[in-house]
Amino acid sequence: MQTNLRGRDLISLQEWTKEEIDTILDVAFQLKRERALGIPHPLLRDRVLAMLFFFSSTRTRASFEAGMAQLGGHAQFIESRTTQISHGDTAKEIGEILGRYNDGIAIRNVDWGVGNGYIRDVAAASRVPVLNMQCDLYHPHQSLADLMTILEKKGSPKGLTIDISWAYAASYQKPISVPVDLSLLTSRYGMHVRLVHPPEFRLPTDVVDQAAENARRSGGSFEVMDDFDAGMRGADIVYAKSWGALLTATDEADGKAIADRYTDWITDERRLALAAGDAIYMHPLPADRGVEVADAVIDGPHSVVYDEAENRLHAQKAVMALTMG
């Protein structure tokens, strides 16, 4: 266990050692247990977290805000649209100023080619930890909750096969941050990782190379595939969600035209039956029901999506308690 995490930013888990990530998970399970038992844990009394959103959210906002209250502190909800950012406040000013009012700054900015750089610019100017609530490249608090859920449902992740697959959605070009982060994290835990997508939905080369290197070091494997059914076959964990063809076309209409070639990429009962008999179905939500996933799957006996969403709360509380304490 690592005990020297105070003041650390969490922008990408790839910048944290496995031992440090294990510490977060250990604390998350402790806080989850204490909450179930009604044991208060005001570890951040009088501390304040600024939550700056450039994009909508249900789970991330609600779980960070509830988590800060349960830790004895407070979370400020700040939407970029109602700040002076549009009138000139720079990332440096946000880091300097919000860092002087608060004990942590959490940011969601998923703008393609912008979000990660923005968060890093704020962090460079901030005297307090900066937490990534999702950018164009990473969604580390989602991945932590996902790994926590896998540990709960499956025990040791080593040797498990996870199918991280693209699925069709009609709503919008969703960020690539979930498959990127999940590929990078699960490959560090000795898992057999299948990244499955039509060719136009590829992830950045450096991510694929890093995931392969992670798998080599951890004794797992990492394979890129383009056949939805083959990715499902025998998988212990089915994690199928939509993301945008952002490395192929950043224009929303062009991206939709590409996605519309693959409307049959839905996780339905036939496909889920190809996975292991005790497979779990995961999704970070929101899902495009009836398009991305069938109701019978997301509401069915293999689905763990609500436990997964709950674990956002516990994982984030652990990160905040360790970095902002």
Q: By CB under 6 A, name the binding residues for ligand CP.
A: 57-60, 134, 142, 284-285
Q: Which is nearer to ligand CP, 62 or 124 (CB)?
A: 62
User: What's the rounded Cα separation, in Å, for the pair 293 and 274?
Assistant: 15
| C-alpha span between 165 and 163 (Å, rounded) | 6
The Cα 179–Cα 260 span in angstroms is 20
Cα distance from N-terminal residue to C-terminal residue, the chain: 16
The answer to whether the beta carbons of residues 128 and 99 sit under 8 Å apart is yes
CB of 209 to ligand CP, least distance (A): 26
Q: Which is nearer to ligand CP, 103 or 310 (CB)?
A: 310
Strand partners, 46: none
143/323 with CB nearer ligand CP? 143
Alpha-carbon span 120 to 105, nearest angstrom: 12
DSSP summary character for residue 168 = -
Minimal distance, residue 61 CB to ligand CP, in Å: 6
Task: Report, in Å, the least distance between residue 50 CB and ligand CP.
Answer: 17
Of 272, 325, 267, 274, which Cα lies nearest the Cα of 293? 267
Query: Of the two residues 132 and 214, which places its CB atom closer to ligand CP in the complex?
Result: 132
Shorter beta-carbon distance to ligand CP: residue 60 or 149: 60
At its nearest, how many Å lie between ligand CP and the CB of residue 107? 13
In Å, how far from its chain's centre is CA 190? 19
**Nearest residue by C-beta to ligand CP?**
60
Minimal distance, residue 325 CB to ligand CP, in Å: 24
